[in-house]
Amino acid sequence: MHMIEKWERYRLQLHTGSFLAHEIDEVLNGTTKPGGGFWTSTFHPQAKYASDWVKFWTSLKFKFGIKDFEKAVLLEVSPEAKVCHIDGVADLEKLIFKYPRVSIDSLKRIPIDRMSSGTIDWEALARDYDGVHLTRNAAAEIHEMDRFAGWDCESTCWFKRVFVAATPYSEPLIREDVAEAIAPSTDIF
């Protein structure tokens, strides 16, 4: 877990849906990831999918018959944003120790010596940071962990409004003319 010193690679974030200033909900302690906040995924302008969230949601669409996105907005994050960067299980362990919130239910099911026996106090984290970013690497590492179920792809939960620009995005979210293999990595370390 660390601050991203240079947010440049992540400065453009895509949110599927509309965006209004008042839409950043109070952050609450969710069961597996932050509850509330405002969710985005890093924008990939040259990739087949406009973001990892679009790619993930597209896989669900085919599985469950979900409708396409009707709106999207491109957000530019302030270079002053204070973002907690999670790049793997080790970072999550550090967060659990720094911002502990133990779930009694988890302790009954899982031995205390396992990482998944504790959880993160997202409300406390939100007091210290503007957002929390989960990389592709971390999403892949935690994919099978019940403790963080539902955090399925690279994404950022914003606790505060740190956007310097918000522009409706009208380009296709899936570019059929681009091969999936050219999608850039969102991991920088």
* Domain boundaries of the chain, sorted by first residue: 2-173
**H or E, element range at 3:** strand 2-3
User: So what's the pLDDT on residue 118?
Assistant: 66
Q: Burial, 108: exposed, middle or buried (Cβ in 10 Å; 0-12, 13-18, 19+)?
A: exposed
Angstrom distance (rounded) from CA 124 to CA 130:
12
Per-residue pLDDT of the chain (189 residues), as tens digits, is 555 545 666 789 999 877 765 578 888 887 778 888 999 999 999 999 999 999 988 887 665 555 667 788 999 999 999 999 999 888 888 888 888 886 545 544 544 344 445 678 999 999 999 999 999 998 888 877 766 777 889 999 999 999 999 999 988 888 888 877 544 444 432
Q: Burial, 187: exposed, middle or buried (Cβ in 10 Å; 0-12, 13-18, 19+)?
A: middle
User: So what's the pLDDT on residue 63?
Assistant: 57
User: So what's the pLDDT on residue 108?
Assistant: 47
User: So what's the pLDDT on residue 132?
Assistant: 94
pTM: 0.81
